[in-house]
């Protein structure tokens, strides 16, 4: 078996794309999208008719939701599991607004014949995003807490009952490369890899049920270094590299018995943990700004 086939035996493989052809080729279990990927997908020929339908609506905000949900609906036809759909990044510090938008997206999916059991609502892992997830999970709307850069974010998400969270491997590594003036790290010393391993081991030893899904990979070596993680969401390029790799893939992460408990993380604990972590603070804000910028580009495309 190639490395991708071996990986699928120990980890749920998720495609980090809206490209229909790539999903057909690599046959992932789930698929994730975000504003950047929706913007990229909108330029693909397979979605041209949806882009025109969205433009014809006249209302840009309604058109964005329409296009996002229609692309997500097409993806549900190709994967047997979940499709992750992200709320507007501008809402990342307004829990009530995130809950309202999430309910609206789920309603739009329902109108397309897609049940909430097929969708993960993606929320930035701000304190407000965590509180929104708590409300939505209680309503049976599962959430993917994204832009996770440190353990405190992960713990808060798990204690809120989030179904899944996405630590961003590559973006963590990018920050440390720049901060430390390095071109690369041995994979076992890679800060992004180490962050996901820390979260995974912490969750398993403390009995958290929230799924850990490594994301934002820069290399196939980073992916392989997390083999055995609950889920890994991987770009088509790296899926292709794994499919072409005929070497043996060793399992790195395995479930552990829960042996510890810990107190509930307060808002003050959460905010102090971020304030104490320059990398997490900078990358969380940068990620939110980046998703907002791509949503603005999508707005411009729809106005056009």
Catalytic residues: 122
Q: Is 27 buried (19+), middle (13-18) or exposed (0-12) by CB count in 10 A? A: middle
Alpha helices in 56-190 (DSSP H): 60-76, 95-111, 127-138, 151-159, 169-180
> CB-hemisphere CA count at 13 Å for 106?
22
The Cα–Cα gap between 96 and 163 comes to 19
Best CA proximity match to 62, nearest among 97, 34, 88, 36: 88
- Is 23:75 a contact under the CB 8 Å cutoff? yes
Tokens found for residue 93: 């510090």
- Cβ atoms of 195 and 225 within 8 Å: the answer is no
* DSSP for residue 168: B
For the chain, give percent helix, strand, coil, nearest 5. 55, 10, 30
Place of tokens 């609906």: 73
User: 30 CB contacts (<8 Å, ≥6 apart)?
Assistant: 12, 14, 15, 79, 81, 82, 83, 84, 120, 231, 233
């Amino acid at each position: 078996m190639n490395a991708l086939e071996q990986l699928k035996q120990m980890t749920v493989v998720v495609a980090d794309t809206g490209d229909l052809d790539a999903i057909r080729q690599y046959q992932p279990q789930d698929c994730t999208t975000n504003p950047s990927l929706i913007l990229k997908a909108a330029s693909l020929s397979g979605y041209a008719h949806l882009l025109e339908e969205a433009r014809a609506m006249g209302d840009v905000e309604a058109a964005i939701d329409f296009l996002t949900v229609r692309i997500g609906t097409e993806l549900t036809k190709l994967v047997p599991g979940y499709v992750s759909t992200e709320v507007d990044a501008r809402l990342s510090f307004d829990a009530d607004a995130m809950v309202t938008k999430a309910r609206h997206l789920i309603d739009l999916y329902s109108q397309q014949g897609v049940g909430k059991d097929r969708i993960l609502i993606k929320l930035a892992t701000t304190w407000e995003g965590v509180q929104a997830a708590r409300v939505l999970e209680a309503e049976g709307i599962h959430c993917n807490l994204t832009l996770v850069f440190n353990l405190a974010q992960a713990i808060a998400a798990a204690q809120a009952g989030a179904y899944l969270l996405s630590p961003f491997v590559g973006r963590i590594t990018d920050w440390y490369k720049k901060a430390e003036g390095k071109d690369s790290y041995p994979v076992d010393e890679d800060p992004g890899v180490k962050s996901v391993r820390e979260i995974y081991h912490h969750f398993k030893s403390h009995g958290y049920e929230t799924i850990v899904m490594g994301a934002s990979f820069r290399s196939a070596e980073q992916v392989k270094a997390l083999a055995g993680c609950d889920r890994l969401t991987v770009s088509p390029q790296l899926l292709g590299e794994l499919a072409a790799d005929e070497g043996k893939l060793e399992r790195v992460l395995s479930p552990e018995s829960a042996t510890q408990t810990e107190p509930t993380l307060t808002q003050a604990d959460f905010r102090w943990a971020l304030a104490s972590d320059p990398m997490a603070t900078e990358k969380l804000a940068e990620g939110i700004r980046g998703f907002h910028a791509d949503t603005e580009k999508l707005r411009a495309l729809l106005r056009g």
